[in-house]
Every structure is written in structure tokens, then in C-alpha cells.
């Protein structure tokens, strides 16, 4: 095992405090917080731990869009496509970010630094057009502002 692998959390430690079906959502949130996404392997571990069919876990993970089934980059970018952002040209800004990062929505850059997704709403309508990187909202976006934000993260 190399040093990087030893830094990975242990799924059994993450799930230690969960023991029933009522714990599915908090357990999935902990899994995602610790691993960055909910892998099939970790979903299976949860199902075994709380004695629930895997289909129940999968149903929750796929129903709520807060859960990710694939790894994300160090900087996960969510471009808002809600009505307020749409009328402020967020579609063109999304295309701009795709071109700048050389990835499409749902992908991750080769170096693992950035991932990109389009979301229905981030609740920042007054800041339209807006995006989130992890929990931070960036608003009144322009191509120039996007360049400065992304360049500061390289």
C-alpha cells in the first residue's frame, strides 16, 4: 500500500454509527463526504451494515441529485441552468467552461483537478448567472470572471 492509499478513509469506520434503514441518507452523505462519491462497493457495504437490500440504497442514491455515482475533481464546478441563470446566458457560459477545461458536462479533467456539471438551480437567482465550486457560490459571471476563478485554482 502506498502513502496515498493509506490516507483513504475506511468504509467500516465511516459506517460505524449507522445500524438501520432510517440511517440511509445520513450514511450516504457521510460516504460521499469521505470518498467524494458513492461507489457501488460502498453502497454494498452500507446495505450489509444496515441489513437492507442494495436496491433500497440504489433507489435513494439515484433519486436524490445530491448524491454522485462517479468521482469528481478536486474542484467540482456546478453551473446553474435555472430560469434566472438561463435568461442571463448560463448556457453560453457552460459551453465556455467546457471549452476552457476541454471536458464536457459530467466529465473530469485528465489531471483530476476539475469536474463539471450543469444543475437545475443552486438557489442564487439574485446572482445570476451563477456557479458553485463545492459550497462556494460565484455570481454575476462573465467569461473574464470565470477565467480569474479557474486560474486561481490551478
Instruction: Please provide the DSSP assignment of the chain as one string.
Output: --HHHHTSPPHHHHTTT--SGGGHHHHHHHHHHHHSS--HHHHHHHHHHTT--HHHHHHHHHH-TT--SS---SEEEEEE-SHHHHHTTHHHHHHHHHHHHT--TT-B-TTSSEEEEEES--S-GGG-S-EEETTEEE-S--HHHHHHHHHTT-
56 and 80 co-located in one domain: no
SS3 at position 78:
strand
Domain that holds residue 9: 3-63
How many domains are there within the chain? Answer: 2
Q: Are 86 and 122 in contact (CB under 8 A)?
A: no
* Residue 68 in domain: no
* Residue 114 in domain: yes
Tell how far CA 20 is from the center of its chain: 26
- Could you tell me the pTM of the whole model? 0.74
Element (H, E) at 90: helix 90-101
Q: Is the pLDDT of residue 7 over 80?
A: no
Give the pLDDT band (50/70/90) at residue 11: very high
Cell of residue 1, nine digits: 500500500
pLDDT digits (tens, 9 = 90+) for 85-97: 999 999 999 999 9
Q: Is the pLDDT of residue 1 over 80?
A: no
58 and 93 co-located in one domain: no
* Residue 57 in domain: yes
pLDDT digits (tens, 9 = 90+) for 102-119: 999 999 999 999 999 999
Nearest to 116 by CA among 150, 82, 84, 85: 150
82 and 23 co-located in one domain: no
Q: Is the pLDDT of residue 2 over 50?
A: no
pLDDT of residue 3: 43
In angstroms, the CA 80 to CA 5 distance is 34
144 and 113 co-located in one domain: yes
* Residue 42 in domain: yes
Amino acid at each position: 500500500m502506498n502513502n496515498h492509499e493509506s490516507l483513504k478513509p475506511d468504509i467500516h469506520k465511516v459506517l460505524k454509527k449507522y445500524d438501520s434503514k432510517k440511517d440511509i441518507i445520513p450514511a450516504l452523505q457521510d460516504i460521499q463526504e469521505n470518498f467524494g462519491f458513492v461507489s457501488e462497493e460502498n453502497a454494498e457495504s452500507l446495505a450489509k451494515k444496515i441489513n437492507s437490500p442494495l436496491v433500497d440504497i440504489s433507489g435513494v442514491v439515484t433519486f436524490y441529485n445530491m448524491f454522485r455515482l462517479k468521482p469528481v475533481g478536486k474542484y467540482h464546478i456546478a453551473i446553474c441552468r435555472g430560469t434566472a441563470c438561463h435568461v442571463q446566458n448560463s448556457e453560453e457560459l457552460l459551453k465556455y467552461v467546457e471549452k476552457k477545461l476541454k471536458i464536457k458536462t459530467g466529465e473530469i479533467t485528465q489531471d483530476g483537478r476539475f469536474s463539471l456539471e450543469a444543475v437545475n438551480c443552486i438557489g442564487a437567482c439574485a446572482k445570476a448567472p451563477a456557479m458553485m465550486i463545492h459550497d462556494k457560490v460565484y455570481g454575476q459571471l462573465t467569461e473574464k470572471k470565470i477565467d480569474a476563478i479557474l486560474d486561481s485554482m490551478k
